[in-house]
Structure 1
């Protein structure tokens, strides 16, 4: 699911940490993203890529990683982009609107 925000109450890193996300700098792909585990285990977890949008805003690309890839040549994880759980990401993104300035 993709959505945008015109601004954040503070830096991207600080805001994502306040929302419970952990920063990841993937050395294999060179991509930076954030994850938020649902339970104490590594999976399932919400996975968010944040990029700069037009007019100085932010673009968020969020999906649910169900489990780690189980065989070589597959995607890095088994993600669900249009699952009911992912569509409920409104519950995950709602705190961003109530963070203090």
Structure 2
């Protein structure tokens, strides 16, 4: 049941938050609606913080992926250069032996 309440609060947080008192703390002295408003505000705040964390993580992962792709390209070019150098050396030796 708690999961169902949490899903409902999360889904309806905007309309509930419009009437919420931000400084309200949940307690038995407050009505269920007031406690629900407080919980909604807390969920909204946590969601906003998680969204910032998700965005920052995605940016960092994107930067790391670009760096990895750059290194991969550089290594590919280096391997290609070594291969060409080896072929040139082999051709040079063949030409020397023919002379």
TM-score, structure 1 normalization? 0.22
Structure having the higher strand fraction is 1
Structure having the higher helix fraction is 2
TM-score, structure 2 normalization? 0.22
Say which structure, 1 or 2, has more relative contact order (CA 8 Å, 6+ apart). Answer: 1
